[in-house]
Amino acid sequence: MSWRKFAQQLEAEWRRWTPPELEAVNPFARDPDDLMQQFKERERHSRPMVDAAIRIFVRGGGWPEMSDDERFFLYKRLYYAWLLLDSFSLEETESRKFISPRREQDPSEVLEWALIDVWPSLGLPLCLEAQAQYYSGCIAAGELP
C-alpha cells in the first residue's frame, strides 16, 4: 500500500467522525496556561484507551465505545496522522522520489506507527500549539472556550 493510500484511508476515517467539543474541566479557568494544563492532563489520561482503540481498529475491528475525551483525542490523532502520511506521498509525483512503505509490511503496523508511535513526538506538539492558539483567540475575543 502506498503512502497516498494510507493517507486517504486516514482522511476518510477522520471525515467520518464528528468529535465532541472538549469542554473545560474548570469552567472558571480563563488563563491560557491553565486551560493548556487541563488539555494536557486530559490527553495523558485518555492516551491508553485511545491507543487500545486504535489497535483494535487497525486490526480490522470497529471502534469501541469511548468517552468524549477519548473520541476528541482520537479525532486529533487521525487528523495529524493523515497530514503526516500525506506529506510522505511525494513518491507519486514526478519531481521527487520518497521511500515507500515496504510491500511486505503489514498495513496495521504503518497505521499504528502513524497513530500511536509518532503521536507523542510529532502529532501532540502540533496539536498543543494549535490548541494554545485557539484558547488565546477565544480569551482575546471574550468567548469562553
Concatenating the DSSP letter of every residue in 77-88 gives HHHHHHHHHHHH
> For residues 8-42, b (16+ Cβ closer than 10 Å) or e, as one string?
bbbbebbeeeeeeebebeeeebeebeebbebbeeb
Choose among 128, 138, 119: nearest CA to 39: 128
Q: Supply the pLDDT for residue 106.
A: 80
Summarised one tens digit per residue, pLDDT across range 62-93 is: 899 999 999 999 999 999 999 888 887 765 55
Q: pLDDT tens for residues 8-59?
A: 999 999 999 887 777 665 556 666 777 778 888 889 999 999 999 999 999 9
